[in-house]
Amino acid sequence: MTNEDLRNLDLLSMFHYIVGGLTALFSCMPFIHVFIGVAMVTGKFAENSNNSGPPEAWFGWLFIVIGALCILLGWSLAACMIIAGRKLKARKGMTFCMIVAGIECMMIPFGTVLGVFTLIVLNKESVKGLFAQSPPSDAFRFSDV
Q: Are 130 and 91 in contact (CB under 8 A)?
A: yes
Cα separation, 145 vs 141, whole angstroms = 7
Q: What is the pTM of this model?
A: 0.82
- What is the tens place of the pLDDT at every residue in 53-104? 666 788 899 999 999 999 999 999 999 999 999 999 999 999 999 999 999 9
Q: What pLDDT was estimated at residue 33?
A: 95
Reading phi first (left if > 0) and then psi (alpha if -120 to 50, else beta), residue 36 is in alpha
Q: Are 22 and 77 in contact (CB under 8 A)?
A: no
- What is the tens place of the pLDDT at every residue in 8-57? 999 999 999 999 999 999 999 999 999 999 998 888 766 555 666 666 78
